[in-house]
Amino acid sequence: MAQKPLQNYIPALTGVRALAAYLVFISHYAYAFDENFPRAVQRFLNEFHIGVTIFFVLSGFLIAFRYFDSFKLTGDWFRQYLKNRVARIYPMYFLLTLGAFVSYYFTHDQKVTNGFANPIGLFFMHITFVRGFFDDLKFTGIAQGWSLTVEECFYFSAPFIFYFAKKYNKFWLQWAVVTGVGALLVVIFSRVNWYGFFGNFTFMMLYTFLGRCFEFFAGIQLALIVKKRQAQIGGQAKTWFTYGGFALIFVCVWIMSILPIPKGHVAGLYHPLGIATNNYLLAISIALFFYGLLTETTILKKILSNKFVELLGKSSYIFYLVHLGWMYDILHNAFNKWNDDIFELYDKWGKDWNSPFQYDNLNVLYAFIILNGVSILLFKLIEEPLNHYIRRSDFLIKNKPRNPDNKSEAIKA
């Protein structure tokens, strides 16, 4: 069978997005299954935050794959590049963040502000992504949105990373320098009481681009290898990279699950060895897995390329933003109310029946299904149309007919 060159649209990597988002979901709601699983299994599920690392490595790969050969440090190129990134990330983030602060106005839920005195000021810190630099504020608003600050830092840095990689051929020295800058900021600001701005090494290594840059560099390196070797989609019958990399990912999960949990934290991720495993060993394992998806023909690749899984992948960005926070809280409160109403009805009937909403694990499953449906609707009705509108608009730079950057969104980070 004739081999096809690697295309800009890679369905399996779109499906990976859904896998990553669902792993993060499991890590946040594993507590609902505590009574059903042994402690070792609970610890294992708690480390499924690895979905975030999958996102970071994937972003590094996709940005480098699309832009490494064509980037130019010119005003027009940079404006077009930022326009594409804004179209991809910003509209839904802004709308859902606005929703979080509107809900705070009515509920005064302290999870949204963490005691920050000025909610309006905090809202602007969110929509400009700067809250992610402050340890005390990282989980405010849309808690998982801290990772978007990391992503945006990478987006701004990527053209310069490419420039120095080409000009000085010092690609892997860069991540060490970037991490060193992060360490220096911690040394400088750790004694300054400013909402935890680079307040400690754990925060810097787990919640900032300076600490997590290796994950993006692993993705960039993968893109450079793929370009150099002109990898073929479906070109190999071997499955070592796909299944070997996939297995190594969960070996990393297991390592973190057996590490002692530092005081005040909830997962082995926060142990120094957990940080090293997550930021470095896991990133390499994910890159190997991606290389397999790009070059090998496997059942797993076919599953991730399935049209429905592809749709879940396209809507997974929204699912990631809504699976934890104000929208989930609305569902949780509704389930509790419906549970109370059902038992009141049973009392009137004189029945001793079970309620479909009395079990936490079932409620989590209901929420998972509903939020996926909401995510697909928001993707189709809002995210995708706004994305296309911004790309066709004159925002930042006048739109050019047949702009090559207006390709299918599944390849975009």
pLDDT in tens, 149-193: 999 999 999 999 999 999 888 888 999 999 999 999 999 999 998
Tell me, what amino acid is at 395? F
Beta bridge mates, 134: 197
Check pLDDT > 50 for residue 82.
yes
pLDDT at 238: 72
Give the pTM: 0.93
Q: Cβ(62)–Cβ(412) under 8 Å?
A: yes
Lowest mean pLDDT among 185-194, 347-356, 402-411: 402-411
Give residue 42's pLDDT: 92
Does residue 3 register a pLDDT over 70? no
Q: Which of 363, 371, 322 lies closest to 339 in space, CA to CA?
A: 363
* Amino acid 34: pLDDT: 76
Specify which residues 233 forms β-bridges with. Answer: 4
Note the pLDDT of residue 6.
Answer: 60
Report residue 56 as tokens. Answer: 């970071």
Percent of the chain's residues with pLDDT above 70: 93
Residue 407: what pLDDT?
A: 41
What does the mean pLDDT of the chain come to? 92
- Stretch 327-340: mean pLDDT: 96
- pLDDT at 387 exceeding the cut of 80: yes
- The pLDDT value given to residue 406: 44
Average pLDDT over residues 108-136: 95
**Residue 180: which region, alpha, beta or left (left: phi > 0; alpha: psi -120 to 50)?**
alpha
Average pLDDT, integer, range 319-344: 96
Does pLDDT of 58 surpass 50?
yes
**pLDDT for the residue numbered 412:** 43
Q: Which two tokens stand for residue 352?
A: 């001793």
Give per-residue burial for 154-190: e unless 16+ CB within 10 Å, then b: bbebbbebbeebeeeeebeebbeebbeebeebbeebe
> How much is the average pLDDT of 249-277?
96
Please give the pLDDT value at position 237: 61
